[in-house]
Amino acid sequence: MTVNAISVGLPTGVAGWKLLQNKSVSDFKAFTKDPILQRDLAYLRDTLPTKATAKDLLADRRLQEMVLKAYGLDSQVGMNALMQKVLESNPSDSNSVAARMTDAKYKKLAAALNYGGLTVPEIPAVPSTATLQVEGIRSGQSFTSFSGTFGGIKVSNLALENVGNRIDLAATLQAAFRKADGKNSDISVTALGGKLIFSDAKGRGEAVDFSFVADPESTARASLASNTKGSTVVAQQGGAKVGDASTVEQIVSLYTQARFEESLGETSETLRKAIYAKRTLPGITSWYSIIADRNLAGVVQEVLGLPDSFGRLDVDQQKAMFERRMSLSDFQDSAKLGKLLDRYVAKSSTAEAQAMASSTGVASLMQPVAWGGDAFTGASASALLGIIYQ
C-alpha cells in the first residue's frame, strides 16, 4: 500500500516542537479530513471485524499494513510466518512467541487482537417454560381477559370473550406475547390436551402474575401447574477481539497517530521521532525494548551524546551503558521526559538543519529509518530472540 503524506503545516525544530506540546492529532483538520486517510479508516473499521483468524488478517495485505503500522511494526509487513505465530500467541503465556520477543510491541499486538487467547465457548440459553392447566373452556364458556408476564414480556387486558377452545386460546396468547416482544417469535404457546405450554427460547424468565378473568357464570378455569425460569445465553468469552468495537477504535486511533507521525517526518524526522518517543517511552519497561527499536534508541543515544557506532555494540553492552547513564523510571516522569525530549529536539534539529543546507544531506533525509526498528536486519537483529525456528 502506497501512503501519501498529509501536510500538517508545522514549522521544523524547536518552534514546531513547542506547538506540538499543546495540540493533538484532532487539532490538525487538514490531516484528519484527508480523503485518503478517511478511506483507510473506513476500510479498517469495515474489514477488521471480518477477520476471524490471524491467517485471514495477514492474507489481506492492505489491512495487514495498517494494523502493523498502528503498532509500530511496519518493518514486519510481509513476514507472515513470523507474524502469524505472534498473533496466535496466548497473551497470558510467558513462553509464547509474542512474549519472548524483546520488543514489547509484539506482545501488545497479540494481546489487542487476542487470536491466541483462551476461549470459553458460548453457553446456549435454557428455555423458560410454564404449564397452564385449563378447564371448562368451550363455546359460551370462556375467559373475558388475560394479563401476565412471561419471559420478561408483559401482556395486559387481552380480550378473550370470543375464544371458545384451548387451541384458539393458545394462538391468541402467543400472538399477543409475540406482538409485545417486538414481533419476535421466541415465545410460543401451544395446546396439549388440557394444558397450555408456554416457552421462551431466550430463557428470559418464568411466568409472573398470570391472571385469567371469567364471568361468574363461566366454567372456564386456569391454574399454573409448573413454572421454570430458564437462563439466558452466556456469550463466548475470550477469543479474537476483532469484533469488539472498542478494539477496532483503538487500532483506528493508533493508526491515525502513526500516520500523523509519518506526515511529520516528511517535514522533520526530528519531530517525528520526538513525538513518537513521547508517546512510547512512558510504557517501556526494558532497555532491550529500546535497543530493538532503532528510532527510540536513536533518541536516547542523541540525548546521551553517544556516537552512531554505539548501535553496533553487543546489546548487553548497550544495555549496561544505558543503565549507567540514566534510569528507565525517568521515562515515566513527565517532567524529566519533557526535558529529555526538549534536549533531543534542540540537538537533533541543529544537525537536521545543517543537513538540509547541503544537497547531499537533502537526499539522505528523504530515506528515513524504517519505522518501529529494522526488524531482523541491522543493529537491532541481535536484540530480538532467535525463537522462530527453534
pLDDT of amino acid 9: 64
Domain shared by 224 and 138, yes or no: yes
Domain shared by 166 and 72, yes or no: no
Of the candidates 318, 269, 272, 270, which has an alpha carbon nearest to the alpha carbon of residue 292?
A: 318
Of the candidates 187, 189, 169, 165, which has an alpha carbon nearest to the alpha carbon of residue 178?
A: 187
168 in a structural domain: yes
Which residue segment(s) compose the domain that 324 sits in? 13-118+239-383
Cross-strand partners of 189: 198
Domain shared by 70 and 109, yes or no: yes
Strands ordered across the beta sheet of 208-214: 153-159, 143-150, 208-214
Domain shared by 161 and 113, yes or no: no
Q: Examine the pLDDT at 206 and tell me if it is beyond 70.
A: yes
Domain shared by 107 and 245, yes or no: yes
pLDDT of amino acid 351: 67
Average pLDDT estimate for 214-236: 92
Domain shared by 197 and 245, yes or no: no
For 317-372, the pLDDT digits (tens) are 999 999 999 999 999 999 999 999 999 999 887 766 666 566 444 444 434 444 44
Q: Following CA atoms 104, 107, 113, 114 in sequence, which dihedral angle do they give, to the nearest 10 degrees? A: -160
Query: Which cell numbers hold the place of 208?
Result: 409472573
The tally of domains found in the chain comes to: 2
Q: How far apart are CA 221 and CA 17, in angstroms?
A: 83
pLDDT of amino acid 122: 83
252 with 344: CB under 8 angstroms? no
Domain shared by 251 and 367, yes or no: yes
353-358: long-range contacts, CB 8 A cutoff, minimum separation 24:
353/12, 353/13
DSSP H or E run through 29: helix 29-32
Instruction: Report strand pairing: 237-238 vs 119-120.
Output: antiparallel
Average pLDDT estimate for 75-87: 95
What CATH number corresponds to the domain at position 329?
A: 1.10.3700.10
- Whole-prediction pTM: 0.63
Domain shared by 210 and 304, yes or no: no
Query: Which cell numbers hold the place of 292?
Result: 530493538
Q: How far is CA 123 from its chain centroid?
A: 23
Rounded to 5°, angle at Cα 50 from 44 and 53: 110
Domain shared by 273 and 366, yes or no: yes
DSSP per-residue string spanning 315-348 = HHHHHHHHHHH--GGGGG-HHHHHHHHHHHHHHH
pLDDT of amino acid 322: 93
Domain shared by 294 and 373, yes or no: yes
Of 174, 208, 228, which residue is a domain's last? 228
41 with 256: CB under 8 angstroms? yes
* Strand residue runs (E) in 193-330: 195-200, 208-214, 221-228, 237-238
Residue 176's identity, in one-letter code, is A
Residue with cell 423458560: 128
For 99-123, the pLDDT digits (tens) are 999 888 999 999 999 999 877 788 9
Domain shared by 183 and 244, yes or no: no
Domain shared by 98 and 244, yes or no: yes
Of 228, 263, 283, which residue is a domain's last? 228
